Amino acid sequence: MTFPVCSDRGPRSHPTRRHRLVRRAAALLAAALLVPGHAFGVDFVVRDIRVEGVQRTEAGTIFSYLPIKVGERVDDEKIAAAVKALYATGFFRDVRLEAYGATVQTTVTPQDRNRVALNFTIAEGDPSKIARINIVGNKAFPEKTLLSEMNLTTPGWFTWYTKNDQYSKQKLGADLETLRSYYQNRGYLEFTIESTQVSISPDKQDIFITINVSEGPRYTVGDVRIAGDLVVPEPELAALIRIKPGETFSRERLQASAKDISDRLGAEGYAFANVNAVPELDRDKNAASFTFFVDPGRRAYVRKINISGNPKTRDEVIRREFRQLEGAWYDGPRIDRSKIRVKRLGYFDDVTVETPPVPGAADQVDIDVTVVEKSTGNLLAGIGYSSTEGVVLSASISQQNIFGSGNALSLAVNTSRYNRVYSGTFFEPYWNVDGVSRTIEIYYKTLDPTGLAIAQYSSQTAGAAVGFGVPVTESDTINYGARFE
């Protein structure tokens, strides 16, 4: 469906030759499209805007004149204003706003008491598919290899499920960054994407994407230096650099080197350290030398640890897993380790840790811990029947975070005539402040195999067991215990 076309008057005069040529182009802006439940031509929300028919005018120029933005709700009045605004530029002979094959049917049903019922039936039509993706300017790698790195693709066996054959501006942007990383991780430091063109067939069914690239030469690594305020000895920082002279340049290893240096400074309390790798290109030798400029900033310490998102779990259960203490110097590795320990508790679906600076204090940060709790209980029940035992019931219930204390309690029962079990187990991961754990088990078990064809003895036991776990390292524990029957 097409919105009203502007007046077909001849193009206005313009002093530049460029604009005289531009007037000959026709702009077709496709506003894609409706939020279900709103009538076409009356009220809808713009979800995307594309420009077609222009050859010498950049899309950004058109958007700057267009009074409609993505996400806005528009009506007939705004549509008319948009057409007039574009035509008033004098750049175009014909301006139309159209929507992709979607139709809206309105049904009015009379009701009693002078009322009517309105029903809007929206048919969005079939989505356009990517018919072809062309990469122009590539010499070092075959087009097939580059296309295999991208998510967007032409229709295939599984694209009905992945939807990767449907154009998306966000997916295309991600694919362009993937291509950039692919080249720059293989030495092409000056690789650039010069332009991208997205066009659609007249029947609005096929989309064609063309990507123009400039590879540039392949660079090796020249000299590697470290400069700046070296609060950590230079040899120690140099050992963290992953790019070596003579190797093929890799953006991935360069960024990892800067991050490792920043993390090392963070371990010394420099929470706002800044590390920049500045290149120096020798285009005659196709070599790139790098200087890592280190700016540690001011040393910071942790003011407070704030915990949120835990209405059930007590704060102390989370705090005791932290290896970064309040009032101590900021330590990045300890904070990362603390986050891992909180995740390993098994009480949360998600754990995020942020370190915002304290307003008005250049040398202080807070640690904001946000958790998303999950169910930690488990209930199992079963019933069975046999000719020798009759009805057999079994059940168990466990809670790994009872009353939010971080302690675990489990109960189990089995009413089998020949193997009857009643047991209860209580586990404290922090029995004392030193991290010693304790397990207490009380049980009653009977085994009577006389009705089974395996042995001719029976037993009956009841008792209790106590076990202790002593932490040795972050990941190891030595267990001691005693059982009384």
The domain at 17-106 falls in which architecture? Roll (3.10)
Please state, in angstroms and rounded to a whole number, the distance separating the CA atoms of residues 481 and 350. 34
For residue 201, pLDDT over 70 is answered with yes
Q: What is the pLDDT of residues 181-198, one digit of tens each?
A: 999 999 999 999 998 888
pLDDT band at 13 (very low <50, low <70, confident <90, very high): very low
pTM above 0.75, yes or no: no
Name residues whose C-beta falls within 8 Å of residue 39's C-beta, 6 or more positions apart in sequence: 104, 106, 120
- The residue that leads in pLDDT, 117 or 99, is 117
Please state, in angstroms and rounded to a whole number, the distance separating the CA atoms of residues 330 and 300. 6
For residue 479, pLDDT over 80 is answered with no
Which residue spans within 346-387 are E strands per DSSP?
348-354, 364-373, 377-386
CATH of domain 129-214: 3.10.20.310
Which of the residue ranges 51-60, 216-225, 351-360 would you say has the lowest mean pLDDT? Answer: 51-60
* pLDDT at position 243: 93
* pLDDT at position 30: 36
* pLDDT at position 57: 65
pLDDT band at 38 (very low <50, low <70, confident <90, very high): very low
Please state, in angstroms and rounded to a whole number, the distance separating the CA atoms of residues 170 and 163. 13
Please state, in angstroms and as integers, the Cα–Cα distance from residue 38 to each residue in 77, 157, 338, following that order. 16, 35, 50
Which of the residue ranges 103-112, 149-158, 284-293, 463-472 would you say has the lowest mean pLDDT? Answer: 463-472
Q: What is the pLDDT of residues 404-422, one digit of tens each?
A: 999 999 999 998 888 888 9
Please state, in angstroms and rounded to a whole number, the distance separating the CA atoms of residues 93 and 88. 10
Q: What share of the chain is helix, strand, coil (3-state, %, to 5)?
A: 20, 40, 40
Instruction: Give the CA angle between residues 58, 128, 63 to the nearest 5°.
Output: 20
CATH superfamily, domain at 301-373 = membrane protein fhac (3.10.20.310)
Buried b (16+ CB within 10 A) or exposed e, 393-415: eeebebbbbbebbbbbbbebbbb
- Contact (CB, 8 A) for 211 and 194: no
pLDDT band at 288 (very low <50, low <70, confident <90, very high): very high
Cα 38 → chain centroid: 32
* pLDDT at position 36: 33
- The residue that leads in pLDDT, 8 or 95, is 95
Please state, in angstroms and rounded to a whole number, the distance separating the CA atoms of residues 267 and 247. 29
Please state, in angstroms and as integers, the Cα–Cα distance from residue 227 to each residue in 293, 298, 314, 382, following that order. 5, 17, 47, 69
* Phi, psi (degrees; rounded to nearest 5) at 339: -60, -40
pLDDT band at 124 (very low <50, low <70, confident <90, very high): low
220-295 shares the fold of 129-214: yes
Ordered by start, the domain boundaries in the chain are 17-106, 129-214, 220-295, 301-373, 377-484
* pLDDT at position 23: 39
Determine how many CB atoms are found less than 10 A away from the CB of residue 339: 19
Q: How many CA atoms lie within 13 A of 265 on its CB side?
A: 26
Q: What is the pLDDT of residues 108-122, one digit of tens each?
A: 888 888 887 878 777
- The residue that leads in pLDDT, 469 or 262, is 262
* pLDDT at position 21: 34
User: How confident is the prediction for the chain on average, in pLDDT?
Assistant: 82
For residue 106, pLDDT over 50 is answered with yes
Please state, in angstroms and as integers, the Cα–Cα distance from residue 32 to each residue in 25, 40, 97, 482, following that order. 22, 12, 10, 71
Which stretch of DSSP H or E encloses residue 210? strand 206-214
CATH superfamily, domain at 220-295 = membrane protein fhac (3.10.20.310)
